[in-house]
Amino acid sequence: MPRYRLIIEYDGRPFRGFQAQDGLPSVQGSIERAVLAFSGETLRLQAAGRTDTGVHASGQVVHVDLEKDWRPEVVRDALNAHLVPEPIAVIDAAVAEDGWHARFSAKERRYIYRILNRRAPPALDRGRVWHVKKPLDEHAMHVAAQVLVGHHDFTTFRDMQCQAKSPMKTLDVARVWREDEEVRLEFASRSFLHRQVRSMTGTLAEVGVGRWTAADFKAALEARDRRACGPVAPADGLCLVGVGY
């Protein structure tokens, strides 16, 4: 039974997250229905990560085990044909090596958060960026973000409904920079807590507008208390851009 490794992109707005849920639209449910329509097989796919409601992906990785030995390009094209008109696309398909697993073999998940920083609202990117009207100091945000790099207790930036066994995570990358009217934040780690990236982003934005200092941000992390977190950034600007193996 061949295992196919698929790279997926999707617009998260129409879905109640990636994970399949009875009676609710999900990315996983849509892909599994496409697999059934294409191959006649009912299966449960495995994914590198479960994005929340409204979160996008340009580099999500999933795997499916199919009984028939299809050419990878046939799997890609057939799934895309059955995913029309949903905002999901299979970018690439390949036969996975023995023992490879989309979730358990992953060593890194990488997210980018986009903030449109101008007075005028977005038109073309509405729903794909967080619109912040006040000027942001991206350099101050980047300096403050460096305290996040390393192994820490991220309770402050952990959603109250998070089901992870431990708040301890190792953040490998925390970077903030500007590209014209956009401020972008990049985070990379083996795994993240529920809404961790959005919590860190929203709190860093408080530094960007001058309401918090880098010292305030450091104190919030060290408080290990959800009440010390700043506002949580909306899902709109968040995108899973890649998974490393």
CATH code of residue 39: 3.30.70.580
Instruction: Determine, yes or no, domain membership for 180.
Output: yes
DSSP structural state of residue 110: E
Report how many domains make up the chain. 2
**Residue 1, pLDDT score:** 87
Question: Is residue 16, in this structure, part of any structural domain at all?
Answer: yes
Cα-only R_g, the chain: 19
Q: Are 114 and 232 in a shared domain? A: yes
Residues (pLDDT < 70) of the chain are none
Is position 102 within any domain?
no
Torsions phi, psi for 74 (to 5 deg): -70, -45
Rounded distance, CA 97 to CA 245, Å? 12
pLDDT at res. 163: 86
Residue 226 and residue 124 in one domain: yes
Structural domain boundaries, residue 139: 108-244
Specify whether 88 is located in the same domain as 130.
no
Give yes or no: residues 162 and 233 share one domain. Answer: yes
Helix/strand number for the chain, H first, E second: 5, 10
Write down which residue in 60, 95, 130 finishes a domain: 95
Same domain assignment for residues 68 and 119: no
101 in a domain, yes or no? no
Q: Are residues 118 and 91 in the same domain?
A: no
| 123 contacts: CB under 8 Å, gap ≥ 6 | none
In a domain, 236, yes or no: yes
- Rounded Cα gap, residues 54 and 87, in angstroms: 12
> Is position 116 within any domain?
yes
Domain shared by 67 and 187, yes or no = no
| Positions marked catalytic | 52
User: Does residue 183 lie in a domain region?
Assistant: yes
Same domain, 235 and 122: yes
Tokens of 54: 């409204």
pTM assigned to the model: 0.95
Verify that 67 and 128 share a domain, yes or no: no
| CATH number of 146's domain | 3.30.70.660
Say whether both 50 and 166 belong to one domain: no
133 shares a domain with 78: no
Same domain, 137 and 160: yes
Q: Is residue 103 part of a domain?
A: no
Which positions ≥6 away from 39 have C-beta within 8 Å? 66, 67, 68, 70, 78
**Which residue, of 95, 117, 141, is where some domain finishes?**
95
